[in-house]
Structure 1
Amino acid sequence: MFMLLKRVLIGQPLKSTALGEQKLTKTKALAILSSDALSSIAYGPEQILIVLMTIGAAAFWYSVPIAVGILVLLTALVLSYRQVIFAYPHGGGAYVVSKENLGVNAGLLAGGALLVDYILTVAVSISAGTDAITSAFPSLHPYNVPIACLLVILITVLNLRGLTESASILAYPVYLFVLIMFITIGAGLYRIMSGQVPADLHAPIGTPVAGLTLFLLLKAFASGSSALTGVEAISNAIPNFKNPAPKNASKTLAAMGILLALLFSGIVCLAYYYGIAPKGEETVVSQIASATFGRGGMYFAIQGITAMILVLAANTGYSAFPLLAVNLAKDKYIARMFTVRGDRLGYSNGIVFLAAASILLIIVFKGQTEHLIPLYAVGVFIPFTLAQTGMLVKWIREKPEGWRVKLTINAVGALISFTVMMMFFITKFPQVWPALIFLPAIVLVFHKIHKHYEAVGDQLRITTCEPAARVQGNVFVIPVAGITHVVENTLNYAKSLKPDQIIAVYVAFDKETEKQFEEKWKQWQPDIRLVTIYSQYRSIIQPLTKFIDTVEHKAKELNYGVTVLIPQFIPKKRWHNALHNQSSLLIRAFLLYRRDLIVTTVPYHLKK
């Protein structure tokens, strides 16, 4: 049943030779890797207005110069990451750049921040998409969290079906979103220029605002910079592009930067001229669409497509997280399971882990986008800063042709990224302080995992590890629960291996039962030694392990090995397992970590 459901949802497995067919064209890559950045125009401008609103509507005109500053930052990041793409064509982005140029800890900090950021990408995008849905249908507002969790599951299934299939589906809503936003911006600008929008809706640019401070402006700038999250995703996912991958990735990055700049500028301008103020249960984009087209078919189309793109923007996380996890896993800093490709040639373990972590965040933060965005933004500006600084070190060390121009570009990018990062920590410290705890903790966990893998490798390597111990003989210990075909099957298997001694062990809970079992055993298996143990506290594990300790002690004196053979019957149907006490599994769990003991399960399959 499970396999049937899996095939319906995920599809038939793909051959390894089909991996080349899973590469992305520029058109599909722009949709799947830029959806996060492009969708951020639905909440980036709103974050600026939320901060300015604390002073009053007269301060809204400052959103225009703040937007100009954000566009300068966007330009610097696009140019900087374009150089990262050509310098590191195998992907990895900030993690690889930082590790190679700034050291392991800097790389792990960048990698850890990005892993968290991609989890937040999914949580923020899905939460923002849910907000768009509930803005159009306010009656659904109490169900934000269940709706968001359901959307995460749907997009996870889509990604498990494979990269090209998900990209093919995603391309249409992404480009439809870009088209409908340009139509909205164009219609809004026409209304403004034709005088249909009253001038008294907004304060003129340059209007003095009492109480406005530099701190507040920096906070608004930092909040608006959340629109730039996702810019780095293309540099992480270069292996997903068709050849020539670096050239195609560079062109895709440039196209994303241009589209993001135009859409972000347009939304900020419309919000300013319309005099729109943020509302708790209606997004800024919703208010712009309502003011431009009224609450008709076009409005609901905009809201529907915006909700769709915000939900599908999570796909940037699904595309970049597994690839970054692969790089970290190859370097032995996270579990190797992240390097395994699934049935559809995607890194399904990374996809499933990302989905589970995102759902957990949505539940913890109750799907409130504004509480997630500060952590989301700070998580990406740390890698931004480290990546640009790493590129600075690279150009200074290598001095390739034209290195001074490259150095200047990355220096500007590093300076602006560092400034924005510090703005987040200073202006939003109550919201972002957890980053100061969990990021170092993640780096520490990475080192612990790496240490474990190094230790395992050292112990398993033939040339370095201790030689395997040679034994002179074997003793088999068989826990028995009765005289059954299961026990008979295990005894026959033990006899076929011709050990030096076979000991059957029976744990009895009363003296009468103990005596009766000994008599039956003598008649059934007289050639097999039986040891009965009386357990007055009805425990099986404790007396059994104590007996095995005694056997091990004597076996060591003779240089004998000890093997515990556990009889276990396997029901015909899996649900039948719930009807049995699984004592064999319990015994195995207790004995498995004994250093000098071999534990083997001998199955007996039931037929009905």
Structure 2
Amino acid sequence: MKIKYAFKRYLIGRPLRSTEIGEQKLNKKKALAILSSDALSSVAYGPEQILIVLVTIGATAIWYSIPIAMGVLVLLAALILSYRQVIFAYPHGGGAYVVSKNNLGVNFGLIAGGSLLVDYILTVAVSVSAGTDAITSAFPTLHNHNVSIAIFFVVCITLLNLRGVTESASILAYPVYLFVVALVILIGVGLYNIFTGQVQPGLHTPIGTPVAGISLFLLLKAFASGSSALTGVEAISNAIPNFKDPAPNNAAKTLIAMGTLLAILFSGIVCLAYYYGITPVVEQTVVSQIAETIFGRNWMYYFIQGTTALILILAANTGYTAFPLLAVNLAKDKFIARMFTVRGDRLGYSNGIIILGLFSIILIIVFEGETEHLIPLYAIGVFIPFTLAQLGMMKKWIREKPKDWTSKLIINSLGALISLIVTVMFFLTKFLQVWPVLVFLPIIIYLFHSIHRHYEKIADQLRISPHEPAIPIEGNVIIVPVAGITRVVEKSLNYAKSLSAQQIIAVYVSFDREDEKKLEQKWDKWQTGVRLVTLHSQYRSIIQPLFKFMDTVEHKAKEFNYQVTVIIPQFIPKKGWHNILHNQSSLLIRAFLLFRTDLVVITVPYHLKE
């Protein structure tokens, strides 16, 4: 046990007192890094998703990426302003789940909550797999080990989060800010080259050039694909309890900072891709092409690629921060297991962290680390809650009519409309990739309701009603299963005698008549004052004859309103591995007795010294 305890302390650190929870809160700088990694990492693939759709028409259509990017920025602004309102309206966290549940009804809340829970699992699996791909692209010899490398990263991030929010934020902040610095340098140098005339005008098609074959449907498809860059925007509204006081103010400022950074990086990459005439290719990402065009294959290029790979992996950490807190809200409402409300040794919600890590690993193994085709499912898992949250806030403002409610209503109405359009476009254009959401969401909601009904039934059964008279227990009958005359049995019988009992019965199940007679003779000489009942088992089963005898005793005890108590003697070896050398009959009996509704079961341990 000491070795196990020391190993646990080495992995996750010393236990923290409950009074130290204030020290585990995040300041704005750390929160920005740990909660924005998912949103900021999407800059690495969001602009590329727009170009992939447009290039199907031809390179001349690339100029449409500029107005499409402006549309994405409008949606981003609407979401940021909306979630800022959510933060102050619901300062205890919960985000889209709480907003939808309180304003649209329980089922809409569960749709939002279920979508986000699955989405955070996808966040971890997709982000880590994408980061692993970036690493194995640089080192092709590692390509066959994609799954193992991805699992290794998931385990590392899981352990890091089990050590506590502040500790993980302190470590993960550096790669996130390095990525921001790398892209700011890339965008800054790229724009400088454009403004100083170092970029040839012939590389890009002038904005407004007519393009044959372009359609509104295609533009909306490109817009929906580019909107995948907005995944993770809602994470801050879910994680308000992790902020230092005043939590809502700090969360709101962090949200604005994240939105500003995301807007700068996203629009910068789109502009550079347009002016430098970058088109998507299978072998190289758009960011990689831009970096190579501007810097060549020098240290700066590898710095950008390295930080991009890091942030893609660390984007998973947003899931580790938001998933446990969302699970807490669902668990408090009795829709998932209460174990998610329990804080671990380091004051984090460790059960949520561990479950997230396990499901992510399963997903990586099932898809063999190739989770790229899950990105649309991953994106729609966010836009469904986006839409519901906006609609919920609209209903809240119409119902409550607070000060300046019309401006707030306009912001949420715009966000709801654009989010709904994106959601519909995902279904229309990527149905073969997003149809699973139509299957798993109803299943998840059914499970939520089943768990809720279970907790409600338990509450009804445990609730004490003053109108129901208590039925007093008139006496106690104790049954002690024995395997012979030993110190273990002696201790159990002495304990039974210390209780107030009408009768104590020792029961021995024999497989051999000679053993039965020998024990009866020894028992008479021992003179314990306790009646011995021997049961012969023709089929060498302890359970069947013992339970048949218990049924008989219990039936007679009910006539006098007596309680039947079973005391199980059990010896505990000094070393755990010694248990495999013994029959463990006591454990077997106790396991079967768990399903007996009217028996009280007591285990009397006897600890061996050697």
Give me the TM-score of the superposition, normalised by structure 1.
0.94
Deviation of 1:283 after TM superposition, in Å, equals 3.3
Give deviations 1:422-479, integer Å, cap 9, x for gaps. 1112221122112112212222222222222222223323346855542222111122
Give the counterpart letter for 1:577 in structure 2.
Answer: N
Q: What's the counterpart of residue 35 of structure 2? A: 33
Q: Could you tell me the percent identity over the aligned residues?
A: 75
**Where in structure 2 are the equivalents of 1:255-270 lying within 5 Å?**
255-270=257-272
Identify the match of residue 187 of structure 1 among 175, 180, 189. Answer: 189
CA deviation profile, 1:247-267 (whole Å, cap 9, x unmatched): 222221111111101111222
Secondary structure in 1 matching 2:91: coil
Structure 2 counterpart of 1:153: 155
Counterpart for residue 473 of structure 1? 475
Within the candidate set 478, 488, 491, 1:489 is matched to 491
Partner secondary structure for residue 504 of structure 2? strand
Amino acid in structure 1 at the alignment position of 2:297: R
Alignment match of 1:551 (pick from 550, 553, 557): 553
1:190-246 CA distance string (max 9 Å, x none): 445556656665555556655555444333322221110111111112222222222
Count of residue pairs brought into register by the alignment: 608
1:133·1:303 contact (CA, 8 Å) conserved in 2? no
**Residue 135 of structure 1: aligned partner:** 137
CA-based RMSD of the aligned residues comes to: 2.3
Give the 3 Å change call, closer, same or farther, for CA 300–516 of structure 1 in structure 2. Answer: farther
Q: Distance in 2 between matches of 1:587 and 1:204?
A: 82
Residue aligning to 1:575 = 577
- Name the CA distance, whole Å, in 1 between partners of 2:177 and 2:28: 13
Partner of 1:607: 609
Question: Matched residues in 2 for 1:291 and 1:551: separation?
Answer: 87
Q: Does 1:326 align with 2:328?
A: yes
For residue 590 of structure 2, what is the aligned residue in structure 1?
588
Instruction: Answer yes or no: is 1:85 the counterpart of 2:95.
Output: no
* C-alpha distance in structure 2 between counterparts of 1:465 and 1:516, whole Å: 55
Q: Aligned-pair distance for 1:58?
A: 4.9
Whether the 8 Å CA contact 1:365–1:372 is kept in 2: the answer is no
Unaligned runs of 5+ in 2: none
Give the Cα separation in 2 of the matches to 1:283 and 1:575: 54
Identify the match of residue 110 of structure 2 among 108, 111, 122.
108
Secondary structure of 1:601's partner? strand
The letter for the 2-side match of 1:137 is F
Question: Do 1:14 and 1:345's aligned partners in 2 also have CA atoms closer than 8 Å?
Answer: yes
Contact kept? 1:472, 1:558, Cα under 8 Å: yes
Mapped partners of 1:84, 1:109: distance in 2: 18
Code of the aligned partner of 1:439: L
Q: Deviations over 1:483-527 (max 9, x none)?
A: 322222212211221422222222223334334333333333563
Q: Give the distance between the partners of 2:388 and 2:95, measured in 1 at CA.
A: 10
Shift of 1:55: 4.8
Q: Secondary structure at the match of 1:578?
A: helix
Name the SS for the 2:605 alignment partner. strand
Cα deviation, residue 304, structure 1: 2.0
1:306 correspondence with 2:308: yes
Residue 391 of structure 1: aligned partner: 393
Structure 1 segments unaligned to the other structure (5+ residues) = none
Aligned to 1:452: 454
User: What are the superposed Cα offsets for residues 6-60 of structure 1, whole Å, 9 maximum, x if unpaired?
Assistant: 1112111222222222222221211111111011111222333344455555544
Shift of 1:321: 1.5
Written as runs of structure 1 = structure 2, the 5 A alignment for 1:140-539 is 140-192=142-194, 205=207, 212-280=214-282, 282-463=284-465, 466=468, 468-525=470-527, 527-539=529-541
Alpha-carbon distance, 1:549 to partner: 1.4
Q: SS state of the match for residue 310, structure 1?
A: helix
Amino acid at match of 2:298: G
Q: Give the C-alpha shift of residue 392 in structure 1.
A: 0.7
Structure 1 segments, 4+ long, off by >6 Å, are none
Return the alpha-carbon distance in structure 2 between the equivalents of residues 511 and 256 of structure 1. 80
SS of the aligned residue for 2:417 comes to: helix
Letter in 2 for 1:471: I
Equivalent position SS for 1:106: helix
- My pick for the range that moved more, 401-410 or 204-213, is 204-213
Rounded to whole Å, the distance in 1 between the matches of 2:237 and 2:516 is 70
Per-residue deviation, residues 275-322 of structure 1 (Å, max 9, x unmatched): 444455643333333333333322222222112212222221111112
Distance in 2 between residues matched to 1:515 and 1:202, nearest whole Å: 101
8 Å Cα contact 1:120-1:376 kept in structure 2: yes
| Residues 389/468 of structure 1: CA separation in 2 closer, same or farther (3 Å cut) | same
Cα deviation for residue 274 of structure 1 reads: 4.3
In structure 2, give the amino acid aligned to 1:409.
I
Question: Is 1:22 matched with 2:15?
Answer: no
Distance, in Å, in 2 between the alignment partners of 1:91 and 1:477 is: 53
